[in-house]
């Protein structure tokens, strides 16, 4: 039995992984925890200054340990920080491989410009609205109602929650990604307006065992837009983990 851990992003929850359920092999055990920055529980987390440490607690709680960890969006940034932190301490994270889906990453601190603050804040409700749209394709919600729901989610996250995200993003140029020897696949969406695919490609190029793939026509939520492809990609990563139980069935 192989353990795959799925880590949702800011303002979402474990339900974002449900479209993948039909595409897993019986030989894989899925762990999709509800993280402190989930859509309904921001209040208890928003003042926490070390969210990467919270991810460590989540991974430590996986029975038998994680074979592959998949992290999306904000959680991808936190997992990258945790990988770098452990590598710098000469105590690498005990995980076979990592998939960072739609990560936010800048290699140079000078790449952050003042106007990025306003652009990022303005983009957040649009990203939330896109998540709602993709999760309700079988029961479409009118655009005005969807926009209102997205505004409410943005209010739940609030300024402290958003600043936790942006602070983690600002730290990415300072991370010692060159020390991380864990195999890392970075996934970018070709039309992702929130975390451009170029950021995933640049990160992969700086990681010693990094690789990248850009999903054509896909935005910020490939697990919702291309669930069959996404699960198949994770299975292929799992198959490459030495000494782990490989998955053999197709999607």
- The 10s digit of each residue's pLDDT in 175-222 is 999 999 999 999 999 999 999 999 999 999 999 999 999 999 999 999
Edge-to-edge strands of the sheet including 184-189?
28-31, 2-7, 68-72, 97-101, 184-189, 210-215
Does 73 reside within a domain? yes
Helices (H), 172-226: 197-206, 222-225
Please, which residues bridge with residue 211 across strands? Answer: 185
Average the pLDDT over 70-89 and give the result.
98
Supply the range of the domain harboring residue 199: 2-239
Residue with tokens 């997992």: 79
Give the CATH number, domain containing residue 23: 3.40.50.1820
Q: What is the pLDDT of residues 128-182, one digit of tens each?
A: 999 999 989 888 899 999 999 998 888 888 899 999 999 999 999 999 999 999 9
The answer for residues whose C-beta is within 8 angstroms of residue 137's C-beta and 6 or more apart is none
Number of domains in the chain: 1
- Secondary structure (3-state) at 97: strand
Does 246 reside within a domain? no
Largest interatomic CA distance in the chain: 52
Does 245 reside within a domain? no
Does 152 reside within a domain? yes
Does 216 reside within a domain? yes
Q: Is 219 exposed, middle or buried (0-12, 13-18, 19+ CB in 10 A)?
A: buried
Does 87 reside within a domain? yes
Report the pLDDT value the prediction gives residue 244, as an integer from 0 to 100: 53
Does 27 reside within a domain? yes
111 pLDDT band (50/70/90 cuts)?
very high
pLDDT at 247 over 50: no
Q: What is the pLDDT of residues 20-47, one digit of tens each?
A: 999 998 889 999 999 999 977 777 898 8
Does 81 reside within a domain? yes
Residue with tokens 């609205």: 129
What is d(CA 84, CA 176) in angstroms, rounded to the nearest whole number?
6
- Is residue 142 within 8 A of residue 133, CB to CB? The reply is no
């Amino acid at each position: 039995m192989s353990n795959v851990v799925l880590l949702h992003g800011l303002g979402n929850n474990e339900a974002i992984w449900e479209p993948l359920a039909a595409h897993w092999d019986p030989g894989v055990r899925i762990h999709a925890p509800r993280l402190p920055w989930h859509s309904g529980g921001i209040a208890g987390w928003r003042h926490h200054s070390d969210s990467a440490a919270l991810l460590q607690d989540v991974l430590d709680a996986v029975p038998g340990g994680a074979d592959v960890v998949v992290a999306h969006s904000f959680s991808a940034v936190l997992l990258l920080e945790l990988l770098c932190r452990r590598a710098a301490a000469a105590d690498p994270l005990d995980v076979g491989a990592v998939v960072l889906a739609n990560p936010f990453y800048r290699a140079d601190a000078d790449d952050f410009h003042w106007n990025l603050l306003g652009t990022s804040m303005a983009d957040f409700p649009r990203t939330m609205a896109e998540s709602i749209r993709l999760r309700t394709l079988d029961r479409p919600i009118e655009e005005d109602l969807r926009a209102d729901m997205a505004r409410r989610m943005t209010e739940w996250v609030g300024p402290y929650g958003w600043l936790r995200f942006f602070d983690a993003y600002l730290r990415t140029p300072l991370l010692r990604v060159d020390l991380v020897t864990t195999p890392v696949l970075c996934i970018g969406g070709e039309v992702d307006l929130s975390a451009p695919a170029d950021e995933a490609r640049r990160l992969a190029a700086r990681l010693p065992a990094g690789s990248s793939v850009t999903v054509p026509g896909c935005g910020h939520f490939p697990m919702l837009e291309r669930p069959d492809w996404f699960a198949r990609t994770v299975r292929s990563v799992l198959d490459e983990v030495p000494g782990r139980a490989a998955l053999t069935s197709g999607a």
